[in-house]
Structure 1
Amino acid sequence: MEPSVEQSLSPEQHEAFFQELIGKMPMVHHADKLEELALLGLSMTLRREASKDLREELARQIKAIIAKVEPGHTPEETAAAMATAAKDCILVLRVAKEQRKPRPPGNAPHPHHAAHHPHHAAHPPKDAEMSNAKVVKIVVGVVVLLLAAGGLAWWSGKETPNSDGSETTKFVEQIIQATQGEPPATHMFGGTLKVTSMGGVPVVIAEKVPPRICAASGMKLVKKGLLSVNGVTPTRVSSAIITELCNKDDGDATIMWAPK
């Protein structure tokens, strides 16, 4: 069974995740989605059983903050109420971070663990793996889309030009099928294909996707689920935006997709 995103992030990635998460919270425009996002951040910050009481108390505070949000008579009033709620929820998460229990002795990975296993096969080169920063940005982006999709503008209905027909269709099918069972280790273009889970939702990560296929398939995938390209989850989606993201980094692209 694939580890969950929460379990697979290192302490450094958790810290980066926290910073990315609180940076995204003011962008959420629906109270229920803000509550879900804040509670997710809380559960990831206070994961240990020893923090259960504090986690439950702070969860009550978050719910109380959200309960005070009332739709204003104007968009400006509603936006102001949401901004205040987001600020207060972020303060609660900072309290959680400051008061969380330290890692129990002996649970931390040994800094020289790899040196004790010289017979293990060498890991792939670092350039074949996503950097911590990219992993965190992709994860946060998909989390925000999963929780806040109701407040974001989605696919405008235009098909992307110059799609690669059968190749694109087959690649999209491969991505979708990967969420339904054991995926192959690589996708049809040779890059790594893996599936993890986030709150019970399967999330597919495809690396080294040719930019032209990324652009064409991205427009199809975004109609069927939630998409992040090269670590960026756009709040508005169009052919031009997807194409730009697919070509943002030198070389091939990384796609992360979760079904709706």
Structure 2
Amino acid sequence: MAEHHADADIAAVASLIAEPARAAVLTALLDGRALAAGELARLAGVSPATASAHLARLLDGGLLRVASQGRHRYYRLAGPEVAEILEVLARVSPRAPVRSLRQSRRARLLGEARTCYDHLAGRAGVELLAAMLAAGHLTGADSFEVTPAGEEALAGLGADLAAARRSRRRFAAACLDWTERRPHLAGALGAEITRALLERDWYRRDPAGRALRLTELGGKGLAAMFSCKGLTSHTPVT
């Protein structure tokens, strides 16, 4: 008798994400950081008790992981596949209305450069992938391989390609950017490049969220190494 497999229960995951406070918690963790319950409650605009109940459901549903440090518990996304789900939903969801100058500034910064879990996204991520393909550092379309020229350039950046190749996740893949509607580089290679960019102080994390700020050093470095001159059109931080 042929074996029949039931379809995946996507409704269970969808119901977890559909609640506004839980969606806010997941969005706050999209940059790959681990945050305490109190901070997530503040970001979601709910009481600590309500946040605790939502976090328990997200843990039970496999969307979050938690680690204890002393008396505190820190929550993060369960993995890059959860971030991918959220990014796909963002692409088909209406934009939230902008009602203040603060929200307008935040939206602009997120559009310029941000982390999509652990890799560079926004206009910066799209421009970097396009520049690497144009320079012959990468080949491919939906998934990519590093060329000898790319190996040299990424070694100069300080990216550990051997570590990226040892990872159990996809090595290098195109991820359609929800603000640009063009692909940026995802996977283990995208994460390793972003780590190197932050370590070299070419980008800095915005204290208020998951936006990244291009530094003056980074603008010069990206223009020299990858010909990413379009990224310097906004004012870098010093």
Question: How high is the TM-score relative to the length of structure 1?
Answer: 0.26
Q: Which of the pair has more CA radius of gyration? A: 1
- The structure carrying a bigger strand percent of its residues is 2
Q: Which has the higher contact order (CA 8 A, sep 6+)?
A: 1
Question: How high is the TM-score relative to the length of structure 2?
Answer: 0.27
